[in-house]
Amino acid sequence: MSAKPKLYYFNGRGKMESIRWLLAAAGVEFEEEFLETRDQYEKLLQGGSLLFQQVPMVEMDGMRMVQTRAILSYIAAKYNLYGKDLKERALIDMYVGGTDDLMGFIMMFPFLSAEDKEKQHGLIVEKATSRYFPVYEKVLKDHGQDFLVGNSFSWADVHLLEAILMVEEKKSDVLSGFPQLQAFKARISSIPAIKKFLEPGSQRKPVPDDKYVETVRRVLRMYYDVKAN
């Protein structure tokens, strides 16, 4: 296996994007193999690399890891982005879980019909501004610290910044009523490893386009439209 982590996924965001974000935040260089054909996917299946017959899959430290949350937890723990004790880890898990729920609405968006996209757009903004962002705004205001947990940079901060930027792609002024989150975004974005990842030419993936959607559908044989919540 490669000395660098190797990521197996499509050339697009999806569930792998948070893994890219976390590795980048930890300053870890990684390689990628993009799935473009059904044959590539079948080869991974037949070789036994995909434990539950799905990607993302990451080769790292002599392991072939699947299940996004397990991969992220491993990276966070390995690179000291998972709090200093069990209580902090529990908080990080809660915040990441909440952010995951919000990101799930956005992740399915490219696969919706035009009619459902219109509905989902409003739902994303409504959920972000009424359910999720108020939680993080209050956390930051109440403890008056720079980071979400333990006043130390963690996986929770990385995940929240990723989610904020995703929602801003749907509504650019979505943080207008959240001054704490505006300051948080500026702080986390200025961390050198994060700043580098946000620059053009990094391994951060753009907003999913029709080519990405078509590739995913073809490789995974998705012959149906995803339904909006």
Q: Do residues 11 and 37 make contact, with C-beta atoms less than 8 angstroms apart?
A: no
pLDDT tens, position by position, 82-122: 999 999 999 999 999 999 999 999 999 999 998 899 999 99
Both structure tokens of 120: 């989902």
User: Letter for the amino acid at 48?
Assistant: G
Q: What is the pLDDT of residue 222?
A: 82
- Give CA–CA dist 42/195, Å, rounded: 37
Angle at the Cα of 88 from the Cα atoms of 87 and 92, rounded to 5 degrees:
120
Pairing of strands 31-34, 6-9: parallel
DSSP state of 46: H
Residue 199 burial by Cβ neighbours in a 10 Å radius (0-12, 13-18, 19+)? exposed
Element (H, E) at 6: strand 6-9
pLDDT at 229 over 70: no
* Reported confidence tier of residue 223, pLDDT bands at 50, 70, 90: low
What the chain holds in terms of domains, given with CATH numbers, is 6-79+198-220 (3.40.30.10), 86-191 (1.20.1050.10)
How many CA within 13 A on the CB side of residue 97? 6
3-state secondary structure of 158: helix
Both structure tokens of 141: 């205001």
pLDDT at 183 over 70: yes
Q: Model pTM? A: 0.95
* Reported confidence tier of residue 152, pLDDT bands at 50, 70, 90: very high
pLDDT tens, position by position, 124-144: 999 999 999 999 999 999 999
Q: What is the pLDDT of residue 17?
A: 98
Q: What is the mean pLDDT of the chain?
A: 94
Q: What is the pLDDT of residue 3?
A: 86
* Reported confidence tier of residue 167, pLDDT bands at 50, 70, 90: very high
- Give CA–CA dist 188/183, Å, rounded: 9
Both structure tokens of 127: 């959920």
Q: What is the pLDDT of residue 179?
A: 98
Q: Do residues 110 and 208 make contact, with C-beta atoms less than 8 angstroms apart?
A: yes
* Reported confidence tier of residue 45, pLDDT bands at 50, 70, 90: very high
Rounded average pLDDT over 66-91 = 97
C-alpha radius of gyration, the chain, whole number? 18
Q: What is the pLDDT of residue 1?
A: 47
pLDDT tens, position by position, 47-57: 998 999 899 99
